[in-house]
Chain A
Amino acid sequence: MSGLPPTTSVKRWFVTTNHKDVGILYTITALFFLLFGGVMALLIRLQLWDPTSQILSGLAYNEAVTAHGLIMVFWFLSPFAFGFANYFVPLQIGADDLAFPRLNALSYWLYLGSGLLLAISFFQGGTLSAGWTIYAPLNVPMYTPSIGSTGAVLALAMFVTGTTASTVNFLTSIHHSRAEGMGIMDMPMFTWSMLATVWMMLFAFAALLAVGLILAADRVLGSVYFSATEGGSLLWGHLFWFFGHPEVYIVFFPALGVMLELFQTFSGRRLVGRKWVIISICLISVQSFLVWMHHMFLTTINLEIKTLMMATTIGISLPFDLVVFSLIYTLIKGRIQFTTPFLFAFGALLLFILGGITGVFLGAIVLDYEFRGTYWVVAHFHYVMFGGATALFGGAYYWFPKITGKMYDEFLGKLHFVIFFIGFNAVYFSMFLGWETPRRVFEYNPEFQIYHQFGTIGAFVLGFSFFIMFYNFAKSYVSGDPAGDNPWDYSRTAEWAVSSPPPLENWPDRPSYASGKLEFVKDFVPDGGPAMKTDDNGDVATDGGDSHSTHISEYPYWDKHASHASIWPFALSLALGVTLFGFSGFADAVTVELGETALQSDVVISNTMYPIAIVLGLVGLLYTGVKWGLEDFYAPPSEFAERWPFNGVEKVKLGMWFFLASDVIVFGAFLSAAIFVRYNAGWMTWSPLTESLPGLINTFVLITSSFTVILALVAARRKSRKGLLATLGSTILLGFTFMAIKLWEWNHEIFDRGVTISANAHGDPIQASIYYVTTGLHGIHVLLGLVIAIFLFVRAYQGHYLDDERPIEYFGLYWHFVDIVWVFIFPLFYLF
């Protein structure tokens, strides 16, 4: 009934929404990007062989440096970890799948699509060459003019969109679908690390999305944020590092989770001080948002703030100390088995210790002053991030038997580890020795040539070692020994309790920990009624289920099979990819020559490919979005699940809340940018660009529309189709009124007052940019809301939502949020 073709069919991999399939797709795609980024690394190392020769041009070298960093950080490390998370988090918590399987497939396709956009950017006049930190104003078209640079920025934005979807999905799954009896403190450590990771991602990636959108506006629409001397450079620094520091832990935590699992499995010991490790992980997640300025000690930040940031930086190293000691003490008195997965996990610990100690050096500001921009930093973060990823390769060996049902070759695995470990230290320890070399410089001081040559040899050894792994996995997949369900002596977590590979819906019967250990429970399903739990000691377990008993959904779950296939995630991602491809060349292909009025303005199109791509893509987005909404896709709610601390919140509502939380950060970043730039320009030197009356009217319009949405929900609950149509219709009308006033206002600003996105006849151009971009982002939110509202209106006309008004309620949440944002925008842009 699932409509999912067999694994041998190509079609399956385009339509699958099953978490295990998506996990495999993630892992394989990430390994491809490892090769891609690895080739970039080898190009860099070849160039560094000799400081006087030139293999790459300065521009090509910068492109290689940038692509290497972006690919490894974004397109390899996190997705590789998310491959395992996709596959094993649901298994470890006893869920059938992630909370939103289609959204999960969408995340993957957005990831792949964004990677393809990045690859295409190399052929659009060269990809971005501003480093993975993309510092301003090198990131604006004046200094990096290629279309490919814009393509890479948009690829990053697309990647982050997919990541946000994934984050919402994992947060909802872990907080909503844990098997009965598995309290939050009982979760396996890998799942715990992933939970901390996605919480950080929710906020950190929202900041990156915001800064990426602003940069895209600068590059595509001509706003002037990052070229502004009113703090444009520092604005990038703050927003990027507000994301960038948590990102270090986002990358490292999944690897830490693998280490925590593997240390236990291969020593036969349980984690020492488990509670304290969990508390440390939570502390680090919070603290990670309070240290970002330590990346900016050499800017003009004052001493007091630097001191504070130094203190928080040292503060964040302390919970890590505890985790490291816990890992070490877990091994003591164990029966340590030196299998390949353990060697990688243990190697990761050693590398991380070195990375951690050298990080303390960077925490001392005086030393940081000298280390800034040198290979000390490069070596340090490779030891931390790639050192952590070492454990992920351990995870690949560890879970390979579960995923394939075959055992890998132990000798080749160990050989891989030895060569990997030697190569790793050769390339990165040599960087500590030659640390005075500036980053991203290839004509370095010849004194350090010996270290760089050593490093280059190490890099090739390191790169070679991965081919042993690929060969091992390929050979073992074809002809390895059957692994059995549980090849490890001391494994504990639930993925080892099912067959290898696990069945499509994971479990023979409903998994439950209510008795203190994993059991499979057969639920008694009475005719026409919801499943009843057979034991009565699990009050918590049923808390979350209550919401369903009051809303009888269209499809009683005991009567309906879970869906596992949908083409729309792939199609939607394709449409977005085409749209963004179009936008990458928009600024070059389309020029607008302003006339006296909008009608007298000329649009000159020099290259039709890009505008056509935009139109096709947008139409495709609308089409696939509607198809998505209409598709009869059923993801069963987990009826008996542990949901602390979100007991009683329905699944989709919980997901909506998570999404809105990340959107709060996106708008927060836009508004912070507005405030930061205005502060740098001199707060009182700016007065509102626009008249306040249209804004005031719009405020009333939007607030009124919030009321009509509430009335729509009331009407739906009263099963009044007329009332629902009237209130939804009013909401749509009010929304269009808002947009019409906005349009009039922009038209007035542009043609009557000469205020465009990049020019301002009445003051700083950056003020005009901020006005258009911030209110524009809000306008896009309103437009998106209108599209959904129209969709709901049509469906309501057909008679839906009277039995199940939840879609109206969730749309209302979004709509209220958009209105609340306006309440912040209005005073900032219209009053003061």
Chain B
Amino acid sequence: MIDPVILQQGSDWRAQAEIFDEIFFVFLALGTLVGTIVVAYTLWNVYKYRDDGNRSDEEFDAPVVGELPTGQGGPKAKKLFLSFGLSAIVVISLVVYAYGLLLYVEQGPDDGTEGDIEIMVEGYQYGWAYEYPNGHTERGELIVPADQRIDLNITSRDVWHNFGSSDLRIKSDAIPGDHSETWFAVSSEDVEAQGGEATYRVECFELCGPGHSQMKSQVTVIPQDEWEEWYANTGNSSESASVRPAGAGVTAQSGVGA
């Protein structure tokens, strides 16, 4: 296995969103390039070899009905294998490159400063319940601190759901009787940039019943000190819309782009 440390650029962690954007860009650029070349080459040849009635009969051997195929290898097999080899190299190198980053995404950053926070996420028809290490349960909104790795342990109470946030580029299946894991972290710069509270849309990505469309939630990231203050007050009140720090009004459905 490739040592993930190489990919971490020192002790700096990289958000999944950042990794995704990088790979996506590389794939998109190469995909567009290859696609354009192949399609342009094809179109050009189709135009060039159109039947305009002016072509000479030389080296044109018209097929006849009822012939058996001859020359199975064909005269252009060499060219065929050259193109095939080139495309294989492009595809394989792309995937090997992406695989290196997969190992990082799978393991997450090795950021042992504060210890990770593990949140149990349970999907149900139609919402998400978040259980903190102290037993506090939150519905509708996952409130976490900035600059810290958050581990999610995801399952479902009823049917198969899929917990995902397009903005954070995280996603994981929520399967009854099974636990899947993912992680994310948001830097304090990002939180600052959104005015001291960053919110990210959470949606369900697996059809789960008539309310699937409405199965929404959000991740709210606040500065560490604010979060700790809030978290300390949650211990005694489980499962409630707990008191939020001043200034952090509950906003419904504010997508990060909005």
Question: Chain A: residues with CB nearer than 8 A to chain B?
Answer: 57-59, 61-62, 65, 129-131, 133, 135-138, 143, 181-182, 185-186, 228-234, 264, 267-276, 296, 298-300, 303, 307, 310, 314, 317-318, 321-322, 324-326, 328-329, 331-338, 346, 349-350, 353-354, 357-358, 360-361, 363-367, 369-370, 372-374, 436, 438-445, 447, 486, 489-494, 496-497, 513, 516-519, 680
Contact = CB atoms under 8 A, between A and B. Distances in A.
A300 B171 contact: no
A335 to B, nearest CB: 4
Contact of B63 (A182, A268, A518): A268
A274 B63 contact: no
B65 A491 contact: yes
B77 A314 contact: no
10 contacts: A61-B210, A129-B209, A138-B159, A138-B208, A186-B69, A273-B73, A298-B172, A322-B81, A326-B80, A369-B105
B11 interface: no
A136 B91 contact: no
Residue of B34, B180, B213 ringed by the most chain A CB atoms within 10 A: B213
A65 B69 contact: no
A444 B203 CA distance: 9
B255 interface: yes
Contact of A518 (B66, B160, B212): B66
B84 A325 contact: yes
Given A335-B55, A366-B23, A518-B65, 10 more contacts: A62-B212, A135-B207, A229-B178, A274-B69, A274-B72, A299-B175, A329-B76, A336-B50, A369-B105, A370-B166
A127 B30 CA distance: 43
A494 B99 CA distance: 49
A357 B69 contact: no
A272 B98 contact: no
A801 to B, nearest CB: 42
B171 A373 contact: yes
Interface of B: 16, 19-20, 23-24, 27, 31, 34-35, 38-39, 41-42, 45-46, 49-51, 55, 59-60, 62-77, 79-81, 83-84, 87-88, 91-92, 94-95, 98-99, 101-103, 105-106, 125, 158-160, 162, 164, 166, 169-173, 175-180, 201, 203-214, 216, 255, 257-258
Query: A-B pairs with the 5 shortest C-beta distances?
Result: A229-B177, A518-B66, A373-B205, A58-B210, A275-B72
B41 A367 contact: no
B64 A492 contact: yes
A137 B206 CA distance: 12
A321 B51 contact: no
Given A233-B177, A350-B39, A58 B162 contact: no
Nearest to A492: B63
A406 B119 CA distance: 69
A366 B76 contact: no
Contacts, number: 288
Contacts of B60: 268, 333, 335
Contacts of A303: 103, 106
A366 B162 contact: no
A497 B65 contact: yes
A306 to B, nearest CB: 8
Given A273-B80, A367-B23, A185 B72 contact: yes
Contacts of B63: 264, 268-270, 490-492
Contacts of B76: 272-273, 329, 332
Given A298-B180, A370-B20, A489-B62, A182 B68 contact: yes
Residue of B42, B65, B95, B177 ringed by the most chain A CB atoms within 10 A: B65
B178 A299 contact: yes
A367 B35 CA distance: 19
Contacts of A296: 173
Residue of A138, A143, A324 ringed by the most chain B CB atoms within 10 A: A138
A329 B73 CA distance: 13
Contact of A366 (B46, B77, B101): B101
Residue of B84, B201, B257 ringed by the most chain A CB atoms within 10 A: B84
Nearest to B103: A303
Interface of B is mostly: mixed
B211 A366 contact: no
Contacts of B176: 137, 229, 232-233
Nearest to A302: B106
A272 B74 contact: yes
A493 B19 CA distance: 52
B52 to A, nearest CB: 9
A353 to B, nearest CB: 6
Nearest to A58: B210
Contacts of A230: 177
Contacts of A273: 73-74, 76-77, 80
Contacts of A350: 39, 42
B65 A440 contact: no
Contacts of B23: 364, 366-367
A272 B180 contact: no
Given A61-B213, A270-B63, A366 B98 contact: yes
Contact of A276 (B71, B77, B255): B77
A229 B106 CA distance: 25
Contacts of B88: 318, 321
A221 B49 CA distance: 63
B200 to A, nearest CB: 12
B248 to A, nearest CB: 23
A364 B94 contact: yes
Contacts of B166: 370, 374, 436, 445
Given A57-B210, A366-B102, A374-B205, A234 B66 contact: no
A284 B50 CA distance: 32
A357 B87 CA distance: 11
Contact of A365 (B64, B84, B102): B102
A328 B42 CA distance: 6
B162 A332 contact: no
A337 B68 contact: no
B49 A334 contact: yes
Nearest to A230: B177
Contacts of A57: 210
Residue of B69, B79, B91 ringed by the most chain A CB atoms within 10 A: B69
B55 A300 contact: no
A361 B31 contact: yes
B65 A486 contact: yes
Nearest to A231: B177
B45 to A, nearest CB: 5
A779 B169 CA distance: 50
A440 B207 contact: yes
Given A143-B159, A186-B69, A369 B171 contact: yes
Contacts of A322: 80-81, 84
A307 B98 CA distance: 11
Contacts of A310: 95, 99
Contacts of B201: 445
Contacts of A233: 160, 175-178
B171 to A, nearest CB: 6
B95 A314 contact: yes
A440 B68 contact: no
Contacts of A59: 210
A329 B71 CA distance: 15
Given A230-B177, A361-B31, A492-B67, A321 B106 contact: no
Nearest to A339: B51
B106 A492 contact: no
A374 to B, nearest CB: 7
Given A129-B210, A276-B80, A354-B35, A447 B257 contact: yes
A61 B212 CA distance: 10
Contacts of A318: 84, 87-88, 91
Contacts of B51: 268, 335-337
A445 B62 CA distance: 56
B45 A328 contact: yes
A807 B74 CA distance: 47
Contact of A367 (B24, B65, B207): B24
Contacts of A497: 65-66
